Amino acid sequence: MGLLLLFMGVSAIAESEVRVRVLRSDKPLSVVGQLSRIVQLKPDPIELFEGQSQQNFFYDQSKYQGYSVYVEGTGLKVDGVAVPEKVLLNYHASAKYQAIAILMMNEYLMGVLPSEMPVGWGIEALKAQAIASRTYVRNVIQHRRYRSFDVEATVMDQVYRPLESHALSKATEQKVRSALSETRGQFLTDQKGDLITAYYHADSAGSTESPAEVWGEGQSFGLIKGIQNKQSPYKSWVFKRSREELESQLRQHFGLKETARLRALRVSETSSSGRAHMVEAQFWGVGSRKISGQDLRKLLGFGRLKSTLFKMSFGEKQVVFRGKGFGHGVGLCQWGAKYLAEQGFTYRDILKHYYPTAELLESEAVQRPLASTEI
């Protein structure tokens, strides 16, 4: 990436690039590896180092007065976390220290695809995932252009890990490349030609959810019912939490005093697909408080309370959640896509099934054509 783009500010960063926040820390950042270039970007660009021998760099905002520093090199690690060859280090009072990888779209998607979907699955499922991931990141780039980064490298956006960290065989790596190259420049748009937020999730348990009912968004893909992959490990699950621990978490979430005691917990409102839309927590002497199903998942851990499609038993000593599916339930169901691919459906069929109101268009129809280096 040309450093001139960084010097000119966020608005000038090429649209073919993705800024991925790979690390956030309360402490100064330590970079190790074969560093070839270090540049302080503001108030005026200052070359701090350019060569082949430096092995480490310590970024402390007090030394650099809070200005961003751009680092290039190979085999880079920031606080022990492997990062790509180009990374931006900065400090914000709200987010503290951040390491933001600067990636070309192709490189980013090569790290996302094997992180988000098992690469042993059918190629048509992988192609559908590739288009959903490409559409998602392009959409959020448009809406977050004034932020210091575009996407998180976690489930808060899309999971990204550098391709080399997956240790794929040559054949498997080629399969990932094929899924991307054979869908080159394809995006999902609404009827007006605008990119949709192409959400996806692991397992819908047979029924997808509306974005409006999960996050209050206006867009809708339509509710899809009828496909449940019996091979899915998430077809049923049980999660248990001690009443005392859950009580403590809810108290903290609602900002209640430690004397508040949880009297009952129940699903007070369900969505059109039967998911827990709102959950009511009743406290002795305090009254009721409500939390959305998705916020409850976030509070307890997305990997523990796997979905909001659950039944709940509130006992004297513990609370038991019995549910099915994994994820928010919006958009593409990955286990459903796997099943459809195994039945001979193409990626176009799969996308039409899970995004029935969307159009599959080439890049020329999406505001700005992609650069030739992109996939």
68 contact partners, CB below 8 Å, separation of at least 6: 6, 40, 41, 42, 88, 89, 90
The model's pLDDT over 128-139, given as tens digits with 9 standing for 90+, comes to 999 999 999 999
CA distance 281 to 254: 10
Contact yes or no for 341/124 (Cβ under 8 A): yes
Give backbone dihedrals phi and psi of 345, rounded to 5 degrees, phi first: -80, 150
- Give the closest residue to 350 by CA, choosing from 327, 361, 366, 334: 334
Domain boundaries, the chain: 3-104, 106-229+330-365, 237-323
The model's pLDDT over 84-102, given as tens digits with 9 standing for 90+, comes to 999 999 998 887 999 999 9
**Model confidence, pTM:** 0.87
* Residue owning tokens 């200052």: 46
The whole-number average pLDDT for the span 198-215 is: 90
The model's pLDDT over 268-301, given as tens digits with 9 standing for 90+, comes to 999 988 999 999 999 999 999 999 999 999 999 9
* Average pLDDT, rounded, for the chain: 88
The model's pLDDT over 227-268, given as tens digits with 9 standing for 90+, comes to 777 889 999 999 999 999 999 999 999 999 999 999 999 999
CA distance 324 to 305: 10
CA distance 23 to 30: 12
